[in-house]
Structure 1
Amino acid sequence: MDDLITYLAMDRRFALAGGYALADRTHGAALFVDISGFTPLTEALVRELGPQRGAEELTRYLNLVYDAVIDELHRYGGSVIAFAGDAITCWLDGNDGERAVACALAMQRAMQPFAAITTAAGSTVTLAMKAAVAAGAARRFVVGDPTQRVIDALAGETLVRLANAEHQAQRGEVVVDEVVLAQLADRLLLLEKRHDATNGQTIGVVQGFASAHAVEALAAPWPPLAGSSLTQAQVRVWLLPAVYERLRRGLGNFLAELRPTVALFVRFTGIDYDHDDAAGQKLDAYIRWVQSTVARYEGTLIDLNIGDKGSYLYINFGAPLAHEDNADRAAAVALLLRARPQELAYIEPIQIGISQGQMRAGAYGGTYHRTYGVLGDEVNMAARLMMAAEPGQILLSESARRSLSQRFAVQNLPPIRVKG
Structure 2
Amino acid sequence: MTQSLDVYLPMDRRQALVRGVPIPEQSAGVALLADVAGFTPLAEVLVRALGPLRGAEEVTALLNQAYGALIAAVDTFGGSVVCFSGDAITCWFAPPKEGGVAHDATLPATSVALRATACALAMQHAMGAFAAIPLPGGATAALSVKVAVVAGGARRLLVGDPSLQRYEVLAGGLLDRLAALQHQACSGEVLLEEALGRQLDARLCAARRETPSGESVVAVTGLADAVAPHPWPPLPTTLADDVCKQWLLPAVAARLAHTPSHFLAELRPAVALMLEFHGLDYDADERAGTHLDAYIRWVQQIVARYQGALIDLTMGDRGSYLYAVWGAPEVHDDDATCAVAAARELLAPPQEFHWLAQVRIGMARGTLWSGAYGGPTRRTYGVLGDATNLAFRLMSKAPASALWCDYAVARAAERGWAFAGLPPVRVKGKAGLIRVYEPLVPSEHRAPPADSPLVGRVAEQAQLAAVLDAVAAGGSRVVVLEGEAGIGKSRLVGELA
1:295 matched to 2:311? The reply is: no
Partner of 1:414: helix, strand, or coil?
Answer: strand
Deviations, residues 197-251 of structure 1 (Å, cap 9, x unaligned): 1xx5321111212x2x33x32x21112226x432223211111111211222344
Quick check: 2:148–2:192 contact (8 Å CA) kept in 1? yes
> Structure 1, residues 116-169: CA drift from partner, whole Å, max 9, x if none?
111354231111111110111100000000000111100011111111111111
State yes or no: 1:167 paired with 2:176: no
**2:320 alignment partner AA:** S
Q: Report matched runs for 1:33-52 at 5 Å.
A: 33-52=34-53
1:246–1:253 CA contact under 8 A, matched in 2 = no
Mapped contact 2:326–2:335 kept (Cα < 8 A): yes
- Report the AA paired with residue 202 of structure 1: S
Corresponding residue for 1:206?
Answer: 220
Is 1:386 the counterpart of 2:402? The answer is: no
Amino acid at match of 2:182: E
Correspondence for 2:114 among 98, 104, 125: 98
- TM-score (structure 1 length as normaliser): 0.95
Q: Residues of 1 paired with 2:81 and 2:153: CA distance? A: 17
CA distance in 2 between partners of 1:138 and 1:196 (Å): 27
Q: Is 2:286 the partner of 1:277?
A: yes
| 3-state secondary structure, aligned to 2:122 | helix
- Encode CA deviations 1:50-77: one digit per residue, 9 max, x unaligned: 1111111110111011111100101111
1:79 is the counterpart of 2:80 = yes
Gapped regions of structure 2 (runs ≥ 5): 96-108, 430-497
Alignment match, 1:136: 152
Name 2:126's counterpart in structure 1. 110
In the alignment, which residue of structure 1 is the partner of 2:448?
A: none
Residue aligning to 1:65: 66
Structure 1 residues 152-204: Cα deviation after superposition (integer angstroms, max 9, x where no partner): 1000111111111111111111011123123222322223412341xx53211
Q: 1:276 to 1:56 in 2, by over 3 A?
A: same
Gaps of 5+ in 1: none
Equivalent in 394, 417, 423 of residue 408 of structure 1 = 417
1:311 counterpart (320, 323, 339): 320
1:157 and 2:173 matched: yes
- Give the superposition deviation at 1:2: 4.4
What percent of counterpart residues are identical? 49
What letter is aligned with 1:347?
L
2:271 is the alignment partner of 1:257: no
Structure 2 distance, partners of 1:26, 1:85, is 26
Cα 1:251/1:207, change in 2 over 3 Å = closer
Quote the RMSD (CA, aligned, Å): 1.5
> In structure 2, what is the Cα distance between the partners aligned to 1:19 and 1:312?
31
> How many pairs are equivalent?
413
For 1:127, which of 136, 143, 146 is the aligned residue?
143
Q: Which moved more, 1:118-127 or 1:317-326?
A: 118-127
1:16 and 1:234 in contact (8 A); partners too:
no
Q: Helix, strand or coil for the counterpart of 1:261?
A: strand
Distance 1:193 1:32 in 2: 19
Contact between 2:276 and 2:358, CA under 8 Å: does it hold in 1?
A: no
- 2:18 corresponding residue in structure 1: 17
Distance 2:269 2:84 in 1: 21
Deviation at 1:328, TM superposition (A): 0.9
TM superposition shift of 1:347: 1.2
- Cα distance change on mapping 1:44 and 1:349 into 2, 3 Å: closer
CA distance in 2, matches of 1:10, 1:353: 33
1:368-420 residue CA offsets vs partner (Å, 9 max, x unmatched): 21111110011000011111111100011111111122442322111111123
Distance 1:336 1:39 in 2: 30
Higher relative contact order (CA 8 A, sep 6+): 1
Give the stretch that moved more between structures: 262-271 or 181-190: 181-190
Aligned to 1:55, the other structure's residue is in SS state helix
Q: Distance in 1 between matches of 2:127 and 2:26?
A: 33
Mapped partners of 2:190, 2:427: distance in 1: 27
Letter aligned with residue 68 of structure 1: A
Q: Does residue 245 of structure 2 align to residue 236 of structure 1?
A: yes
The equivalences for 1:340-359 within 5 A come to 340-359=349-368
Of the candidates 187, 198, 215, which is equivalent to residue 203 of structure 2? Answer: 187
CA distance in 1, matches of 2:207, 2:422: 45
Q: Is the 8 A contact 1:134 1:161 kept in 2?
A: yes
Question: Which residue is 1:245 aligned to?
Answer: 254
Output the CA distance in 1 between the equivalents of 2:273 and 2:252.
20
Do residues 223 (structure 1) and 223 (structure 2) align?
no
In the superposition, relative to structure 1, how do residues 129 and 349 fare at CA in structure 2: closer, same or farther (>3 Å)? closer
Q: 1:372 aligns with which of 369, 376, 381?
A: 381
| Counterpart secondary structure, 1:335 | helix
Indicate the residue corresponding to 1:88 in structure 2: 89
